[in-house]
Amino acid sequence: MSEIIEKYGEALFSNAQKAAQTAYAPYSQFHVGAAVLSADYEIYMGCNVENAAYPEGLCAEASAIAQMVQQGKTTIKAIAVYANSQELTTPCGGCRQKIREFAAPKTPILICNDTGIIATMTLAELLPHSFGPDNLKR
């Protein structure tokens, strides 16, 4: 896990930060960016996209995952989430589940703000005892 962060942490942070600049967040003014590292070490970016019908808004993580899947990749090696906030901007509950679909329990989630990576946690820490594709196997 730390090897991935050492090697790709900085790139994931800067891509997530960059993605936040494209956020469409006229309602919350809370600009979020995400960067996903796929199994072949490509990085896919996403930003939050809000909507006048508020619940229809899309989180940055969901948008980055969609970019990755659109390129035919279905494994997340690591993901960074950036917001310009002093608080830890951890993925919302729905996004934890969306990450879960493509990640392993130990997959690192890097929480970032303008000072860089301010926390690292695993998917299992954020979503213990999760439900996933294996649960549907009979």
C-alpha span between 21 and 114 (Å, rounded): 12
32 near ligand THU, judged by CB under 6 A: yes
Residue 79, phi then psi, degrees to nearest 5: -145, 140
Q: How many residues does the chain have?
A: 138
Q: Which of 15, 17, 38, 89 binds ligand THU (CB under 6 A)?
A: 89
Q: Which of 19, 20, 36, 81 binds ligand THU (CB under 6 A)?
A: 81
C-alpha span between 116 and 50 (Å, rounded): 25
C-alpha span between 48 and 57 (Å, rounded): 7
Stretch that binds ligand THU, among 37-45, 72-80, 85-93, 120-128 (CB under 6 A): 85-93
91 near ligand THU, judged by CB under 6 A: yes
Instruction: List, edge to edge, every strand of the sheet that includes 76-83.
Output: 43-47, 32-38, 76-83, 108-113, 116-122
Helix (H, G, I), strand (E, B) or coil at 58: strand
Q: Which of 79, 95, 110, 127 binds ligand THU (CB under 6 A)?
A: 95
Residues 33-52 within binding reach of ligand THU (CB under 6 A): 48, 50
Stretch that binds ligand THU, among 55-63, 68-76, 109-117, 123-131 (CB under 6 A): 55-63
Residues in touch with ligand THU (CB under 6 A): 25, 28, 30, 32, 48, 50, 57, 59-61, 81, 89, 91-92, 95
